[in-house]
Amino acid sequence: MSNNDYFSIAYKILSYLKYCYENGIDVDVDVLSPGTLNISNSQFYQTLSMLSDDGHIKGVRITSTTSGRIVTGISKLEITSSGLQYL
């Protein structure tokens, strides 16, 4: 399994959100970013979208446009009970 496959990236994102939840801190967008995870913007947004669609996270909005994707709400991301169970 490579370090940038879906399951590895999903685990890293969910683990960070779990850490924020357990310590009562807000998500730091400098920590939770494509660059920090060493993946492309596209893979980052697709992974967030899949995690949201599966009910593992909440708070992010991803809007597709003709020029790409617009992502809002990353700083308000939260892990859900489904995300905790996934871990």
The one-character DSSP state at 23 is H
Q: Where on the phi/psi map is residue 37: left (φ > 0), alpha (ψ -120 to 50), or beta? A: alpha
Longest dimension (CA), the chain: 39
- DSSP for 40-62, written as a single string: -HHHHHHHHHHHHHTTSEES-EE
pTM of the model: 0.87
Angle 39-45-50 (CA atoms, 0-180°, nearest 5)? 110
Render pLDDT for 43-84 as a digit per residue (tens, 0 to 9).
998 899 899 999 999 998 878 778 777 777 788 899 999 999
The answer to whether domain 6-86 has CATH 2.40.10 is: no
Look over the chain and give the mean of its residue pLDDT values, rounded to a whole number: 90
The burial of 71, by beta-carbon neighbours within 10 Å (0-12 exposed, 13-18 middle, 19 or more buried), is given as middle
Domain ranges, ordered by start, for the chain: 6-86
- Give the pLDDT band (50/70/90) at residue 18: very high
> Which pLDDT belongs to residue 2?
66
